[in-house]
Amino acid sequence: MAVERHREYETVYILRPSAGEDVAQKMRDRVEGIIENGGGHLLRFDNWGSRKLAYAIKDKVEGVTMERGTYQYYRYLGPNDVVAEVERNLRILDPVIKFLTVKLEEDLIAEDRLKQPTEVGDLDIAESEEE
């Protein structure tokens, strides 16, 4: 029997400030569906809420300057083609203004990693200062 090996990733994306809760939920459903359909496993999701951007971004669609965005965080296991598909979707969806994926671990046995806790102390920024 072949052992299922994956990599562990974090993906953060920022939604336009005009995107409502329904759009945020559709984005979440879409990303989680891509991860699951690609053979990956979702470890953690956090909605960090509306936050001030590091720098203002000129919106080409709405013609305004955005200074805030809604941040959403994912931590998941999967093969590298899952990351490619997640990023392809984030790139073409209008509500997404920025995204970033980081590889955390390589060559993990999925069953073993799923048994470990996913809590990381420095990720509790949802309760930190709202600017």
CA 41 to the chain's CA centroid:
13
DSSP state letters, 5-16: EEEEEEEEEEE-
No. of helices (H) and no. of strands (E), the chain: 3, 4
Q: What is the pLDDT of residue 72?
A: 96
Q: What is the pLDDT of residue 127?
A: 43
Q: What is the pLDDT of residue 46?
A: 95
Q: Block means of pLDDT (10 residues each) for the chain, length 131 residues? A: 78 93 95 94 93 89 85 92 95 94 82 65 43 42
- Distance, in Å, from the CA atom of 127 to the CA atom of 84, rounded to the nearest integer, reads 31
In the chain, where the domains are located: 5-117
Q: What is the pLDDT of residue 119?
A: 55
Q: What is the pLDDT of residue 90?
A: 96
Q: What is the pLDDT of residue 32?
A: 96
Choose among 126, 130, 124, 128: nearest CA to 51.
Answer: 130
Architecture of domain 5-117: 2-Layer Sandwich (3.30)
